[in-house]
Structure 1
């Protein structure tokens, strides 16, 4: 019983650190956020961070994986098996807009991250592409969208979204770029691929 309580507290502390780290990495950057700052905000000792995560890179990797779980879970929640392309794109934007600041940091700083972190990012993109490509293949057969290589179809969408996120200061100073321009991006993209 005592061990079980200790394990529960340990898990609660670890989850709190991950939650705080996600917010701090979004705010201060994936490569520049200090573990001491995460510890201070999480109200734990600096050593506690390293009791749960051997290195800063391991902490960042677990934060990226948690973000990936949330995004893919949200996408699975929002997308039905027979939905249309517009619904998948809306679900994708809704999922990432909930973590827009972190996601923007992720795409901006991905080349500076270690291989494990970059692989986690690839897995997140693969989950998103799976849903988009599934719908695209069906809609190509139905003649709703033009025949084209599905990898280019997905990469065009991601490129459009990433362009707006990376350059958000050009589009809006204070608001979420995805909430402000999401419908415009979706409509533009659908016009590009429409048959």
Structure 2
């Protein structure tokens, strides 16, 4: 059975909602598909209305603006799904008997696969996070609670094993995520390439670059 994309899961979740009317369901489903295929900026409310089979005025009556429609699509899904998604990811990539370097490489590859399968939605979210304060303020607590706290615990664990420099875990995490997120943004948003071929050398370089900055140096006797 083929793996569901994030887009498919969003649509499936909206169908389970009892808070939406039939028209709202059609609007949200059309919006998700068009945001993913055309990009947020290139999708107009009139186009969404046409695909949904409703008037543009109906969209404005229910959501007010396209920004609000985007929030209506993304926020409920993240609030509902992020805890379990984060739990599953950490179960896959964090093994206590493995080194931090192995964890880091597994995490990067895992998230690269995920974003490669959902690159259009990733583009939408990244671009909107830069300009949409409402979206940023809504999402940050969920990412902090479900992702950043988990990563801090992982860093604390490996610091206790003597693998990482004795820096505040928040600083280590910030350095690490700056490199990883910057790579993903350049790969999928700024300089996207046609091929989705996995680049083992790229991953090795990123891991080595991060580890050279945070690995605890051994003192030779």
The 5 A counterparts of 1:94-109 are 94-109=113-128
Equivalent residue, structure 2, for 1:193: 214
The two structures have a TM-score, normalised by structure 2, of 0.63
Structure 2 residue 141 is matched with structure 1 residue 120: no
For 1:142 and 1:91, locate their aligned partners in 2 and report how far apart those are by CA, in whole Å.
24
Distance 2:44 2:157 in 1: 46
Q: Residue 32 of structure 1: CA displacement?
A: 4.9
Distance 1:106 1:49 in 2: 21
Please tell me whether residue 76 in structure 1 is matched to residue 97 in structure 2. no
CA RMSD of aligned residues (A): 3.6
State the alpha-carbon separation in 2 of the partners of residues 16 and 161 from structure 1. Answer: 36
- State the distance in 1 between where 2:118 and 2:215 align: 29
Structure number, greater radius of gyration: 2
Specify which of 70, 87, 98 is matched with residue 60 of structure 1: 70
Structure 1, gaps ≥5 residues long: 1-6
- Per the alignment, in what secondary structure is the counterpart of residue 195 of structure 2? coil
CA drift at 1:193: 3.1
Counterpart secondary structure, 2:149: helix
How many Å separate the matches in 1 of 2:191 and 2:151?
26
Paired with 2:115 and 2:170, the residues of 1 have a C-alpha distance of: 20
Is 1:154 aligned to residue 165 of structure 2?
Answer: no
Distance in 2 between residues matched to 1:89 and 1:167, nearest whole Å: 14
- CA displacement at 1:142 relative to structure 2: 1.4
9 and 60 in structure 1: CA distance in 2 versus 1, 3 angstrom threshold? closer
CA contact (8 A) 1:26 1:102 kept: yes
- Per the normalisation by structure 1, the TM-score is 0.70
Question: How many residue pairs get matched?
Answer: 187
Q: 1:24 touches 1:33 (CA, 8 Å); kept in 2? A: yes
Structure 2 distance, partners of 1:66, 1:184, is 36
Q: Is there any run of 5+ residues in structure 2 with no aligned partner, and where?
A: 1-16, 96-102, 217-221
Residue 89 (structure 1) shift: 4.4
2:129 and 2:190 map into 1 onto residues whose CA distance is 21
Do the aligned partners of 1:145 and 1:194 also contact (CA within 8 Å) in 2?
yes
Cα gap change, 1:36/1:79 in structure 2, threshold over 3 Å: closer, same or farther?
same
Q: Any conservation in 2 of the 1:25–1:33 contact (CA below 8 Å)?
A: yes
Change (3 A) 1:136 1:22: farther
